[in-house]
A and B are shown apart, each in its own frame.
Chain A
Amino acid sequence: MTETGPVEMLHAAFPDTIQDVQTFRGDVTVVVDAAQIAKVCTHCRDTKGLDYNFLSDVTGIDYFPQEPRFGVAYHLYSMIHNHSLRLKVLLPGDAPEVQSVTPVFPAANWQEREIFDLLGITFTGHPDLRRILMPQGWDGHPLRKDYPLGYETVQFSFNYDDVDKHKPYAKE
């Protein structure tokens, strides 16, 4: 299945927004400007010939220690043309923030909350951005690569405060 048609259509509509197009094992990834993601999604949904009417999944990825550190991938699917497309935005490690696509695809609501919860990416314009899997008072974002898994760093007197800062317990 070639995906050149939709990608060319996107290129024509957003010449400056599309930063990169990658194809790997038949999966087409279109990297777009983070500031334009809601606009691109609306275009993908409403344009005849694209008709991506179904948002399967929104995923966050932490590329630590690379910069830009975070990626958010949107897996779109068109039930009309049986096409899939992955849109991706790259976000800086410092205060990552991206537009919410929940107004365009309401299916993104909880998935964006999950990314906010586990990766600490803020979605502006989200109607109800709260933690969803972790307790409301949790400190830190567990899916980040610098968040420890299961074990904790041993605290000595010389690094007590330093370690305490990123210790994974709920702070009151």
Chain B
Amino acid sequence: MTIMESRWEGNLEELRGLVSDRAMTGETMVLNMGPQHPSTHGVLRLMLELDGETIINCVPDIGYLHTGIEKNMEAKKYEQAITMTDRTDYLNPMGNNFAFCLAIEKLIDLDVPIRAQYLRVILAELTRINSHLVWLGTHALDIGAMSVFLYCFREREKLLDIFEIVSGQRMMSTYFRPGGLWRDVPDEFEPAVRDFLGYFPAKIDDYEKLLSNNPLWLDRTQGIGFISTEDAIRLGCSGPTLRGSDVNWDIRKALPYSSYDHFEFDVPLGKHGDVYDRYVIRMEEMRQSLHIVQQALDRLPGGPTRSNNRKYVPPPRAELGQSMEAVIHHFKLWTEGFRPPKGEVYVRLESPRGELGCFLASDGSPRPWRVRFRTPSFVHLSVLPHMSQGYMIADLVGIIGSIDIVLGDCDR
């Protein structure tokens, strides 16, 4: 047995407790997988203990993408810190902005105009589709279906174009701000989204035609990565991973935020808790997201897209030439930042991967005292050993794909 380039310094004694005693005698093999492995969705390293091809133990080793975002945010003013949130979960940038902005808004009890709430819902749902497209493409690629990957990324371009229309950036948008949005959406936004709404449903059908009844796909996804209802709750699963095990818990329904209760949508549930059920759920979620976007766009109200509370939200540029007070507020906000009251809040929202929580502690200064992101990838990765024990090593990439991890989200 050799353990190459181990962060455990290759000392067998240090592995005791992580792998079974059989590995100590060389009866089972300890194999390193990653961190530069194409099917681990980033820099994930797994240490596998194998008996033949069967996984006895799986020990994830993370931290390769740890960039100290939470620590960095403590040194920045609230408005500056938003840019850091995009970079945690890079497939769900708007969702991370969303979580941080909701936490700030809860902390200072800031109002968000209804138009901004609706636009946030539209963009969060488009981001969900964007994230699910990358998930589907890479998941299928891991299992051997090359063409799905290309189609998914083709459709994703359209979404990135929409993000570019609203924010000027394809990925790191920083479009959500405390009290609303950076600016109102431009005129091109609505036609672009309507175009996508008309274009995309047929594409989901295409993906399903390629995969859902494909015997290879069924063989590789059904009956593996099983997790029971009780274990899913106990181990902290959320989002599609939890709903695949038949638990009806969607934060958009249970604890509606940002007017999600104004829209009708279904929460798809799985029965078997395996990789295939999680696939079916995410496919259906894309349809439901389209449904939400359609409703929000049809009923999109007029009005401002940012709160009028000048103590926390900078005045519009047009006011600066006319109002002394606006100049003072502008100056104060951009030099000093705003000072929320002292307190601690926790908000949770439904990210494409599951429960994204943001804990924000303020000491009354313009910089957050402590920001903590409870990220679904981190928790789901801790469940991976439980899900993969007893399955074949070839199934492991399918199981990793089914929990839809993003290492940036996990390591922060």
B-contacting residues of A (Cβ < 8 Å)?
A: 24-25, 27, 29, 53-57, 59, 61-62, 73, 75, 77, 79, 82, 84, 86, 105-107, 109-111, 114, 128, 131-136, 142-143, 147, 149
Contacts and interface: CB of A to CB of B under 8 A. Distances in A.
Contacts of B38: none
B370 A106 contact: no
B332 interface: no
Given A62-B370, A75-B357, A135-B7, A86 B62 contact: no
Contacts of A142: 68, 71
B233 interface: yes
7 contacts: A25-B343, A27-B344, A56-B357, A61-B370, A75-B346, A75-B357, A84-B346
Q: Which 4 A-B pairs have the closest CB atoms?
A: A107-B236, A57-B374, A110-B382, A133-B63
B255 A86 contact: no
Given A128-B18, A135-B7, A86 B346 contact: yes
B139 to A, nearest CB: 23
Contacts of B17: 128
Contacts of A82: 254-255
Contacts of A105: 234, 236
A60 to B, nearest CB: 8
B320 interface: no
Given A57-B372, A149-B71, 19 more contacts: A25-B106, A25-B107, A27-B345, A55-B236, A57-B346, A61-B344, A73-B346, A77-B348, A79-B233, A105-B236, A109-B382, A111-B378, A114-B378, A133-B62, A133-B411, A136-B8, A142-B68, A143-B71, A149-B72
Nearest to B14: A136
A53 B106 contact: no
Interface in B346-385: 346, 348, 355, 357, 359, 361, 369-370, 372, 374, 378-379, 381-382
B403 interface: no
A128 B49 CA distance: 17
Contacts of B71: 142-143, 147, 149
- Of listed B9, B72, B379, residue having the most chain A CB within 10 A: B379
Contact of A132 (B8, B63, B68): B63
B343 A24 contact: yes
Interface of B: 7-9, 17-18, 62-63, 66, 68, 70-72, 74-75, 106-107, 109, 233-236, 247, 249, 254-255, 343-346, 348, 355, 357, 359, 361, 369-370, 372, 374, 378-379, 381-382, 411-412
Contacts of A107: 234-236, 379, 382
- Of listed B17, B75, B343, B346, residue having the most chain A CB within 10 A: B346
B382 A56 contact: no
Contacts of B74: 149
Contact of B361 (A53, A57, A61): A61
B7 A136 contact: yes
A135 B66 CA distance: 10
A56 B63 contact: no
A22 B62 CA distance: 36
B68 to A, nearest CB: 6
Contact of B66 (A73, A77, A134, A149): A134
Given A54-B236, A79-B247, A133-B411, A59 B359 contact: yes
A113 to B, nearest CB: 9
Contacts of A77: 348
B242 to A, nearest CB: 9
Contacts of B234: 105-107
Contact of A57 (B63, B344, B357): B357
A114 B412 CA distance: 11
Given A24-B344, A136-B7, A75 B359 contact: yes
B380 to A, nearest CB: 10
A86 B373 CA distance: 16
Nearest to B375: A57
Contacts of B247: 79
A37 B247 CA distance: 28
A149 B367 CA distance: 14
Nearest to A114: B378
A165 to B, nearest CB: 20
Nearest to A54: B233
B368 to A, nearest CB: 11
B378 A73 contact: no
Nearest to B75: A149
A131 to B, nearest CB: 8
Contacts of B359: 57, 59, 73, 75
Nearest to B359: A59
B345 A24 contact: yes
A86 B361 CA distance: 13
A56 B233 contact: no
